[in-house]
């Protein structure tokens, strides 16, 4: 069960990175977006990132300029944009990376179940929703996994591969092998809320937000404390800006609805307020901090 042709739906923060690492891993990739301008933006981000990685490879002596350029061109040549899901019909694997909304995801998988060949494996990059519910909606639960990549996909080395009780053993093995081909180290997870990383990470982000709400420390001091005190590459509030305040809110609201008595899944009022004000983090230029591209102020 070899994965050679991959479809990725959603070419935003996560989707563009998944498209890129799949192409770097040698797959033909079709990137599907809802609108041309979003597709153009996603493809432009990929081009910038591929060029940056090529420059780095030369700097580090891992490739000559000619080799790096040829590799970058080959990666970009394997990527095709589309606005039509019908183009995914003969893919070996289709990965969904659209908005964190379970109803929207289920509707998408129901549609894909009718469009794609019987061989096609489906995967969701969801941060928090049950893989089993999307698998049921797709009509092919045996050929369904979670493939949870991390942001920024190009640099983070983990992929969580999530199986349900219905996932076929060969499908699971093929999904793990695909993760490895993308240059990632896969870990196996059961279909539990947040899998491994987000079950630990999101409650930690909530605690940081509640600390800020209470006025226990400034945002800068909370972030510096966790960077220098624990050796984390970024503090929790910078990280929330990085993930997207909207995505963080959708994760927590979904969990709160399902597990109303779990204190770790409280929705901080400050998060609701900032999202209502359109301050979604780095992607809108402001969240807890102001952002100019990668630069925080």
Question: Quick one: 66 or 294, whose CB is closer to ligand CAA?
Answer: 294
DSSP state of 139: T
Residue nearest to ligand CAA (CB): 127
Near ligand CAA by CB under 6 A, which window of 3-11, 110-118, 153-161, 267-275? Answer: 153-161
Catalytic residue among 127, 128, 138, 286: 127
Closest CA to 162 of 232, 91, 250, 96: 96
Residues forming a β-bridge with 94: 7, 122
Question: Quick one: 16 or 219, whose CB is closer to ligand NAD?
Answer: 16
Catalytic residue among 33, 96, 133, 160: 160
Query: Coil, strand, or helix at residue 160?
Result: strand
Residue nearest to ligand NAD (CB): 12
Omega before residue 161 within 30° of 0, cis: no
- Counting Cβ atoms within 10 Å, is residue 157 exposed (0-12), middle (13-18) or buried (19+)? exposed
Residues forming a β-bridge with 86: none
Please report, as ranges, the residues that interact with ligand NAD according to CB under 6 A: 9-15, 32-34, 38, 97-100, 108, 125-127, 150-151, 243-244, 247
Q: What does 9 interact with, of ligand NAD, ligand CAA, none (CB < 5 to 8 A by kind)?
A: ligand NAD
- Spatial distance between the Cα atoms of 133 and 33, rounded to a whole number of angstroms: 23
217 is a site residue for ligand CAA (CB under 6 A): no
- Spatial distance between the Cα atoms of 102 and 77, rounded to a whole number of angstroms: 33
| Least Å from the CB of residue 67 to ligand NAD | 31
240 is a site residue for ligand CAA (CB under 6 A): no
Question: Quick one: 38 or 57, whose CB is closer to ligand NAD?
Answer: 38
Active site annotation includes 127: yes
Q: How long, in residues, is the chain? A: 297
- Spatial distance between the Cα atoms of 236 and 89, rounded to a whole number of angstroms: 40
Query: Ramachandran region of residue 96, left (φ > 0), alpha (ψ -120 to 50) or beta?
Result: beta
Cα-atom radius of gyration of the chain, to the nearest Å?
19
Question: Quick one: 54 or 250, whose CB is closer to ligand NAD?
Answer: 250
Range 12-41, binding ligand CAA (CB under 6 A): none
What positions carry a catalytic annotation?
127, 148, 160, 198
Which residues make up the interface to ligand CAA (CB under 6 A)? 49, 52-53, 127, 150-152, 154-156, 198, 201, 233-234, 239, 243, 294
């Amino acid at each position: 069960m070899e994965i050679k042709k991959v479809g990725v739906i959603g070419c935003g923060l996560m989707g563009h990175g998944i498209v890129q690492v799949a192409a770097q891993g040698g797959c033909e990739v079709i990137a599907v977006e809802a609108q041309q301008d979003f597709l153009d933006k996603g493809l432009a981000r990929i081009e910038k990132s591929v060029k940056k990685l090529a420059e780095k490879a030369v700097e580090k002596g891992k490739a000559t300029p000619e080799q790096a350029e040829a590799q970058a061109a080959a990666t970009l040549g394997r990527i095709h944009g589309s606005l039509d899901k019908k183009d995914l019909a003969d893919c070996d694997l289709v990965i969904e990376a659209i908005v964190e909304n379970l109803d929207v995801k289920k509707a998408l998988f129901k549609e894909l179940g009718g469009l794609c060949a019987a061989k096609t494996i489906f995967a969701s990059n969801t941060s928090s929703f049950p893989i089993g519910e999307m698998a049921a909606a797709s009509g092919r639960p045996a050929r369904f996994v979670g493939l949870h990549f991390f942001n920024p996909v190009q640099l983070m080395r983990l992929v969580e591969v999530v199986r349900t009780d219905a996932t076929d053993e060969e499908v699971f093995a093929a999904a793990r092998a695909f993760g490895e081909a993308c240059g990632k180290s896969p870990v196996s997870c059961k279909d539990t809320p947040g899998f491994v990383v987000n079950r630990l990470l999101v409650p930690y982000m909530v605690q940081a937000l509640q600390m800020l709400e209470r006025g226990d420390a400034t945002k800068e001091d909370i972030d510096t404390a966790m960077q220098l005190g624990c050796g984390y590459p970024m503090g929790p509030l910078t990280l929330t800006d990085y993930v997207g305040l909207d995505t963080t809110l959708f994760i927590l609201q979904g969990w709160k609805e399902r597990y109303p008595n779990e204190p770790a899944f409280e929705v901080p009022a400050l998060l609701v307020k900032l999202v209502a004000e359109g301050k979604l983090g780095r992607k809108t230029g402001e969240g807890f901090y102001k952002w100019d591209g990668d630069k925080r102020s």
